Amino acid sequence: MQLPEHISIDILKSWGDNLGLSAGANERISTNRAYLENILKGGNTYYGINTGFGSLCNVRVEPHELAQLQENLVCSHACGMGDEVPEEIVRLMLLLKVHGLSQGYSGVRTEIVQRLVDFYNLGIHPVVFEQGSLGASGDLAPLAHLSLPLFGKGKVRYKGQVRDAAEVLKETGLEPMPLSAKEGLALLNGTQFMSSYGTWALMAAKRLSIWADVIGALSVDAFASKNEPFRHAIHRVRPHKGQIDTAARMLQLLEGSGIQTLEKKQVQDPYSFRCIPQVHGATKDVIDTVTRVVETEINAVTDNPIVFHDEDAIVSGGNFHGQPLALHLDFLAIAMAELANISERRTYLLISGQRDLPPFLAPDAGLNSGFMIAQYTAASIVSQNKHLCMPASVDSIVSSNGQEDHVSMGANAATKLRRVILNVQRVLGIELLTAAQALDFRRPGKTSPVLEQVYAALRKEITFMQQDRILHDDLVAAERFLDKDAEVFTGKL
């Protein structure tokens, strides 16, 4: 399956296990490489191609040492530490690096790009580590680990096991591929670590944003709240797109609810119910904004120097600087954390003993503690998210003897964003459990047909809690339940 000229988050979400280079990509790469090889014959000096790197940019390297220069670069920059990057994100790194090099401005050989394609298709995933990138000069350390296996060094994860790259290459019939001029630099310079995390985060964010609406609607009926705040008239006079879309979805989700037809005693509902369109909607708008930025990035050329064969120039610049990503990944973390913040408040109210519900949703409160500590867990996770939402992008540390004197810290923004999103899923899972438990106390009352389908699917996996049991197992099952797309149960509303 060939990558299109322009890729989107939606395309990547549905991408299969096979990857291929189009004829156009092959032509762009080979034309650009031929230009580079020809211009190097002229004896001029070009950063990172026949010079040292970073603050060593003024040290010229002899022609017979250029291949060694590139491999030295990759080995010396493979300084990653910390946790191993999840395989699903490493696969995105491979795919996005292939797509970036396929733009035809990086000066690499077609064979190098094809080998990355081979890794993707064969499931040979280089072992990459979370820590080490400053988010400028590219994601140097993570991309170095991604590149080591090309010439038989480093570790890979293959068929579930971490093994030496050289051993797996031999087993799969692939020869180590020595690097040539410019190739190490092209592989290491780039934002594919940050942008892969960003791509994964947006896929998850869009899924959880829909779930937040579905779970919020279930909680609305579980708490016997009104649907009045979701009427279109309210939102057309404050026409933020996300707010309007959320309000409309809430009405669709609640359509046909028997609980909504019952008389309500309260004049108004708490903000965590009444302001779902405003809060969830604001997050949707941020997701849309960040999607535009990330899609621009993953279709860009982000290495350095850039080889412009069409302009007869090799130009050093700063496209590797992760500032656009850093700022927006921080923004997305804040927006997603708010879905958990408001979710935990709804959970708190559902177990509060109000609206004819028993305290802590326990059938025999006192003997049973019910969902008391589940709410503690949600509160703890929400608090952790608040710490994780401290922006990474406000920081910068000088590196490379002052040559790289402002960095984005986008890699740190990216990795903590993933932690925030995983936390959001856990908190939403807890709300889903409490909403379903509360709904059971509304029987024989019924919510809407759509929400009853969600409830029924959940109850196939997690039963009503008649008496206290080890809730950890239920919480984990609810978290995993949200790995599914909500639209499997609700359709596209």
Q: Return the pLDDT at 139.
A: 96
How far, in Å, CA of 341 to CA of 282, rounded?
Answer: 13
Tokens 């280079």 identify what position? 21
The mean pLDDT value for 141-167 works out to 98
**Mean pLDDT on 37-44:** 83
In the predicted model, what is the mean pLDDT of residues 51-75? 79
Over range 439-451, report the average pLDDT: 97
Confidence of residue 54 (pLDDT cuts 50, 70, 90): low
For the stretch 163-218, pLDDT in tens is: 999 999 999 999 999 999 899 999 999 999 999 999 999 999 999 999 999 999 99
* CATH assignment, 197-490: 1.20.200.10
Q: Look at residue 55 in the predicted model and tell me its pLDDT.
A: 67
For residues 420 and 405, give the distance between their C-alpha atoms in angstroms, rounded to a whole number.
29
Band the pLDDT of 44: cuts 50, 70, 90: confident
Give 127's pLDDT tier (boundaries 50, 70, 90): very high
* CA torsion, ordered 233, 235, 239, 241, to nearest 10 deg: -120
Q: Which has the closest alpha carbon to 34: 185, 188, 151, 180? A: 180
Residue 40 has pLDDT above 80, yes or no: yes
For residue range 374-433, what is the model confidence (pLDDT) as tens digits? 999 999 999 999 999 999 999 988 888 777 889 999 999 999 999 999 999 999 999 999
pLDDT beyond 80 at 48: no
Q: How far apart are CA 120 and CA 116, in angstroms?
A: 6
Residue 112 CA to residue 178 CA, distance in Å, equals: 9
The residue assigned the tokens 């809407």 is 448
- Of the candidates 47, 105, 158, 376, the residue annotated as catalytic is 47
Residue 52: per-residue pLDDT: 72
pTM (2 d.p.): 0.96
Average pLDDT rounded to a whole number, residues 76-102: 98
Q: In terms of CATH, what superfamily is 9-190?
A: Fumarase/aspartase (N-terminal domain) (1.10.275.10)
Q: For residues 253, 258, 263 and 264, what is the CA-based torsion angle, rounded to 10 degrees?
A: -40
Domain edges within the chain: 9-190, 197-490
Say whether 371 sits in a helix, a strand or coil: coil
- The number of CA neighbours under 13 Å toward the Cβ of 210 is 19
| Residue 47 annotated in active site | yes
Q: What integer best gives the mean pLDDT of the chain?
A: 95
Mean pLDDT, residues 293-315 taken together: 95
Angle between helices 241-254 and 449-461 (to 10 degrees): 80
Give percent of the chain with pLDDT exceeding 70: 99
The candidate with the shortest Cα–Cα distance to 94, out of 128, 59, 65, is 128
Q: Is the pLDDT of residue 258 over 80?
A: yes
Above 90 in pLDDT, residue 152? yes
CA distances from 157 to 77, 84, 116, 125, 195 (A): 20, 10, 14, 5, 21
